[in-house]
Structure 1
Amino acid sequence: MSQPDLPPTPDTSTNYAGPIMFRRDPSEETTDRHLLAWVDPRDPGLRVDRTVRDSWRVLRIQSEFVAGFDAMSDVAEAVTVFGSARIKPGTEAYRLAVRLGQALGEAGYAVITGGGPGAMEAANRGAYDTGAQSIGLNIELPFEQHINPWVDVGMNFRYFFVRKTMFVKYAQAFVCLPGGFGTLDELFEALTLVQTKKVGRFPIVLVGRDYWGGLIDWLRERLLGEGMISDGDIDLLHLVDTAEEAVEIVKSACPTCGKDDDGRLTR
C-alpha cells in the first residue's frame, strides 16, 4: 500500500512579540514600531484609538520592567559586554570575545550581553565556560534572533528602552567590542549616562585600538576641539587591545569589592 505524500516542510521564518513566537507570514511590525508610530491627532477616530492603546500599553511596559527586575534580582557584580551580532565563529574577533567572557568570569563577574549571536554569543560562551553567570537580554526584531545557547538567564524584551535599563542597572562596567550601529548606540548611551552623572563613574572600555582609534581621534579633534564636550570627557573611555587589559580596568574601578582567598570577587 503506497504511503501518502508528506506535506512540504513549512516555512520556519519566525518573529516574536515579547515571549510569543509567530510563524507563517511573519510581519516586520514590532512592538517598538507600533509604540513609536505617528498617528494624526486631527483624525477623531485615530486619536481615540491612540489614547486607548497608549494607556493600556503602559501596563505592558510596566510588566516588562517588573519581569526584568525579577530575572536580574540575584545578579551581583556584573559587566555588560556590547558587540556585533555579525561576528562569525572561528574569527579572531570571535575568539577575542570568548576570551573576554572567560577573563571576566575568572575575575568573578557575571557577563551580560544582548543574548544574540556573534560577539554576544562569544562573550556568553566564555563566561559559561568558567561557570560564571551568563546573562542574555534579547530584543524583539523584525527578523529571527534566538537567545544563544550559552545563556544561563535570558529574557526576550519588546521594548529597547526597558532592555537598555537592564544593561545599565546591573552592571559595574561596560565593555565594547567591535560592532555596528547597535553597538555605537549602546556605547554612546552609556557614555552619556556617565558624563551626566545619571550613573556612577563606571569604566567604559573599548577593545581594539585599530577599530576604535579613529573614533577617539574624531571625538578629540571635532567634539573636544570645537568645545562640544569638556576636557575630561574623553577620559571616560579606556582604549585597550586585550581582554586582560579590559578586565584590569574593570577591577581597578572597584578596589573595595570583597574577594575570597583565591582572589575572586565574593557574591
Structure 2
Amino acid sequence: MQPTPLHSAHDREIESLAEFDKVVSEHGSLARFRVQAVDLTDRTDTLLAVDTTDAVFLGCPMDSEAAARVRVTGALVFPPIPGLPFDPYRGLLYSPDELFASLDDGYEATPDARAYAWFQQTKADGDVYASMLRAIHDDSVSDTLDELLVGTRVVGVMGGHAMARGTAAYEGAARLGRELARAGLTVATGGGPGAMEAANLGAYAAPFDDEMLTEALRLLAEAPSFTPSIGDWARAAFAVRERWPDGGPSVGIPTWFYGHEPPNAFAAHIAKYFANATREDGLLARSNAGVVFLPGAAGTVQEIFDNATPNYYESRGEPTPMVLVNRAHWTEKHPTWPLLQSLAHERSMASRIALVDRIEEAPEALKRLGG
C-alpha cells in the first residue's frame, strides 16, 4: 500500500496512472506536465495521440514507439534504470510495507537493506553516475515530502536511537507523540528506532483508546531493540500494526547513511534519503510548529544546534520553538542548554526556547512558546 498524501499538490506533476488518465480526460493534453515513475506501457494509444510538447517523463516505462513519438514532439524522456533496488524518480514517499517487503526471507532481502548495500558499494566506488542517481532520488523525495506537508503544522521529535522498548523513557516518548497528534499536529521524526519509533508509535495510536497504546507497548517490549535481530524487531511492530490497523499518520525521515539503523514501521510516510545532511536539514526546516528534543547523544546535540542556527539568524523575529526535555541531561551530562541560552539571549530566540524536567511538560511548553 502506498502512502496517501495528507494534502493534494496543486501543480503539474502526475504521480499515478489514475492522475494520468484524469489529466488526459480533463485537458486532452500532456503539454508541460511532469510524469513521475508511472507505468505507461498500456497507454501507448494515448501517448501517440495527445500533445506532449515540453512534457517530461521521469522513469516511466513505455512502448518504444510511444517513447520515440513523444521525443519527436518535444518531450524529454528519462527512461527507467534497470538493476537498481530503488526508483530514483519516485513520485511517492515510502511506506513501511514497501521498505520491509520480503522480510520473511530475512531483513537482508528487503528493499531497505538492498538499497543500503547498493549505497555502500557505490559510495566506495566513487562512481559519478551512482552519485547522480542518489541526488535525483533525494530530490524526488524532497519534492514529494513538501507536497505531503502543504498546510500542515509539523512538530519534530528528536532523540536517541538507543532508547529501548519496554523502558519508561520509550513509553513517555510514545505518549508525547500521541498527545501531539491528538492536538492536530503532524509528528515528524528521524524515522529510526528508539525515541523516534516511540513518537511515531504514539501518533499511530492517537485514533485508538488509551488502552491500545498500553497493550502495544507491552507487545513491543518482547523485542526491545533492533539488535541483535532487525527482523524480530520489525516483525513485532508489524504485529502491532496488524492487530490495530489504520493508525494515525506521521512522518519518518531516516537515512541510508546510517543504514545499520532500520526505519521504524509506525511512520506512515517515510522520506528516506541517501544524503544525511539533506535529511537532517530538511527534517528541522519542515518542523514549522517547533521541535522537542528528548535525551540523546552526538546526533541529537547536532540537531539542537542545526535548529538553533537558522533561529539565531531569523530576520523576521519568528524562530521556531525548541523544547529540551530532561534538565539533568542537558545541563550536566551533555551541557547543551547553557550554550543554547547564551545564543538565545543575543537574539530574539530567548522567548522561543524552554527546558523542562519531564516529558509530560513538553506539549504545554511547546504551546506556551507558540508552537
Same fold, TM-score > 0.5, yes or no? yes
Q: Which runs of 5+ in 2 are unaligned?
A: 1-104, 208-247
Tell me which of 43, 48, 64 is aligned to 2:138. 64
1:135 aligns with 2:251: yes
Shift of 1:68: 2.3
How many equivalent residue pairs?
A: 221
* Greater than 3 Å deviation, 4+ residue runs: 11-16, 26-31, 56-60, 231-236, 252-255
**Residues 163, 169 of structure 2: 8 Å contact kept:** yes
Tell me the SS of whatever aligns to 1:239. Answer: strand
Specify the code of the residue in structure 2 equivalent to 1:141: F
Specify the code of the residue in structure 2 equivalent to 1:21: R
CA distance in structure 2 between the partners assigned to 1:235 and 1:64 by the alignment: 35
Specify the code of the residue in structure 2 equivalent to 1:177: L
TM-score by length of 1: 0.69
1:145 aligns with 2:220: no
Task: Name the residue aligned to 2:242.
Answer: none
Task: Name the residue aligned to 1:44.
Answer: none
Shift of 1:57: 3.8
Map 1:1-267; keep pairs closer than 5 Å. Answer: 14=108, 21=114, 29=120, 53=128, 57=131, 60-75=134-149, 76-131=152-207, 132-141=248-257, 143-171=259-287, 172-197=289-314, 200-214=318-332, 215-216=335-336, 218-219=338-339, 224=342, 230=346, 236-254=352-370
**Residues 256, 272 of structure 2: 8 Å contact kept:** yes
**CA 146–88 in structure 1, closer or farther in 2 if over 3 Å, else same:** same
- The structure showing larger relative contact order (alpha-carbon pairs under 8 Å, at least 6 residues apart) is 1
CA distance in structure 2 between the partners assigned to 1:94 and 1:86 by the alignment: 10
Shift of 1:146: 2.2
**Residues 15, 144 of structure 1: 8 Å contact kept:** no
* Larger strand proportion of the pair: 1
Percent sequence identity is 28
CA distance in structure 2 between the partners assigned to 1:13 and 1:133 by the alignment: 24
Tell me the SS of whatever aligns to 1:175. Answer: strand
Shift of 1:229: 7.4
Q: Which runs of 5+ in 1 are unaligned?
A: 1-10, 38-49, 256-267
Specify the code of the residue in structure 2 equivalent to 1:202: T
The CA deviation string for residues 91-149 of structure 1, in whole angstroms up to 9 with x for no partner, is: 12111111110111121111101111100010101111004421111111354322212
* Larger helix proportion of the pair: 2
CA distance in structure 2 between the partners assigned to 1:234 and 1:73 by the alignment: 32
Shift of 1:159: 0.5
CA distance in structure 2 between the partners assigned to 1:158 and 1:121 by the alignment: 20
Point out the more displaced range, 206-215 or 164-173.
Answer: 164-173
Task: Name the residue aligned to 1:262.
Answer: none
Shift of 1:156: 1.9
The CA deviation string for residues 176-210 of structure 1, in whole angstroms up to 9 with x for no partner, is: 00011111111110011111117941101101112
Shift of 1:61: 2.0
